[in-house]
Amino acid sequence: MKIGVVTFPGSNCDYDCYRAVKDGLGAEAVFLWHRDHDLQGVDAVFLPGGFSYGDYLRAGAIAALSPIMREVKAFAAGGGPVAGICNGFQILCEAGLLPGALMRNRALKFRSRPVHLLVERADTAFTSEYETGQVLTVPIAHGEGCYFAEPAVLDGLEANGQVLFRYCTAEGRVEPAANPNGSARGIAGIINAEGNVLGMMPHPERVVDPLLGSTDGLGLFRSVAAHLARV
Amino acid sequence: MTDFRVEVRVTPRRGILDPQGSAVQGALRSLGFGGVEEVHVGRLIRFTLSAEDESDAASRVDAMCRQLLANPVTEDYDVRVEALAAA
């Protein structure tokens, strides 16, 4: 099993992701360069966090048009698992691989702290190692993580079970006080209709070792590995 | 071919929460400027474009807006195209 992590100019969580795959998961990890058209035969792709292209124009807008994204789109169209974390989520929305957009946090503040996440579904390629209703503690670090989509799109996401994570209290209640950025319906992470593309604002790759304070993020990487072992 | 000066104004879509606009509105009020409502913060993108004619220029800029300059989910845009005087 080989997992690729794309490095864009301005990515800053690519090494965390690489380490989460290599050390946390014990799988082969490779960096994929944004200017290449080669996915090096990987079985899954991670788009890491950071500030690709300095967030110029809109967060993720320029990265969404970089050469490697043509291959990432084809890979996703073929059913390959693609996960975008933080800036990666923004890039996936800008690339049209996920619906909606990430807007400026409602409070206009950059939020950098651990949050609680409710696992909405544990039967997907990204969450099978968790349990439905489980509460995870995972850090966020973003200024533009307020998920927005038209109400009809949000209804569709919910009806199709495409919401994987919501911001919640320590007890697992989804309420405005637990929502760090004003995201619509407390949404922290979604998948596409086919279930093979994930976008999430929180950083599971930062909590994969007891040394980092928590291993709650490891389940996501293990879920992808379990999915790849099945297909 | 003619050179055109192009200005694209991108603004948050009407009805979508614009926290930046609200913050600026609050700051203007705190400075004592009364009667300020509906503040929105967008961006201005300016460039020159060589095109066949004005309608060619306008349609190319519209394509640029749809593909890159504006986010179709959250933003509106309007375009001004003006022929530059021949040198």
CATH of domain A2-230: 3.40.50.880
pLDDT of residue A4: 98
Whether A57 sits inside 8 A of B68 (CB atoms) is yes
Stretches in chain A below the pLDDT threshold 70: none
pLDDT of residue B86: 67
Q: Can you give the CATH number for the domain in which B31 is found? A: 3.30.1280.10
C-beta atoms surrounding B59 within 10 Å: 12
Closest alpha carbon to A83 in A223, A231, A229, A181:
A223
pLDDT of residue A231: 83
Chain A residues with CB-CB distance to B17 below 8 A: 103, 106, 182
Query: What percentage of chain B's residues is helix, strand, coil (to nearest 5)?
Result: 30, 35, 35
What are the domain boundaries of chain A? Answer: 2-230
pLDDT of residue A218: 97
CA distance A213 to A190: 25
For residue A1, give every residue at least 6 positions away whose Cβ sits within 8 Å of its Cβ, in sequence order, or none: A27, A28, A43, A225, A228, A229
Is A86 among the catalytic positions?
Answer: yes
Number of domains in chain B: 1
B61 pLDDT higher than 70: yes
The residue range of the domain holding B74 is 2-83
A172 touches B at CB < 8 Å: no
Taking the CA of residue B45 and the nearest CA in chain A, the distance in Å comes to 10
Entry field: residues in chain B: 87
A94 touches B at CB < 8 Å: yes
B65 touches A at CB < 8 Å: no
Least CB-CB distance to A101: which of B19, B20, B73?
B73
pLDDT of residue B43: 96
Q: What is the pLDDT of residues B16-52, one digit of tens each?
A: 989 999 999 999 999 999 999 999 999 999 999 999 9
Least CB-CB distance to B16: which of A57, A105, A148?
A148
**Could you tell me if A74 and A39 are in contact, meaning their C-beta atoms sit under 8 angstroms apart?**
no
Taking the CA of residue A110 and the nearest CA in chain B, the distance in Å comes to 13
Task: Calculate what percentage of chain B has a pLDDT beyond 90.
Answer: 91
Spell out the alpha helix ranges (H) of A84-136.
87-94
Task: Tell me the mean pLDDT in the region B48-62.
Answer: 96
Task: Calculate what percentage of chain A has a pLDDT beyond 90.
Answer: 98
CA dihedral defined by A207, A162, A177, A205, rounded to 10 degrees?
Answer: 10
Least CB-CB distance to B71: which of A99, A101, A105?
A101
Is A168 among the catalytic positions?
Answer: no
Is A171 among the catalytic positions?
Answer: no
pLDDT of residue B87: 55
Catalytic residue among A71, A120, A144, A205: A205
Q: What is the pLDDT of residues A174-227, one digit of tens each?
A: 999 999 999 999 999 999 999 999 999 999 999 999 998 899 999 999 999 999
Chain A residues with CB-CB distance to B73 below 8 A: 93, 99-101, 148-150
Whether A108 sits inside 8 A of B74 (CB atoms) is no
Least CB-CB distance to A103: which of B23, B68, B74?
B74
B64 pLDDT higher than 60: yes
**What distance lies between CA A229 and its chain's CA centroid?**
21
Residue of B nearest to A98 (CA): B73
Query: Can you read off the two tokens belonging to residue A193?
Result: 């209709």
pLDDT of residue A35: 95
> What average pLDDT does the structure give for chain B?
94
Mutate to test the interface with B, among A53, A55, A148 (most CBs of B within 10 A): A148
Whether B73 sits inside 8 A of A106 (CB atoms) is no
Catalytic residue among A86, A93, A146, A168: A86
Taking the CA of residue A23 and the nearest CA in chain B, the distance in Å comes to 38
Least CB-CB distance to B19: which of A61, A100, A104?
A104
For residue B28, give every residue at least 6 positions away whose Cβ sits within 8 Å of its Cβ, in sequence order, or none: B36, B39
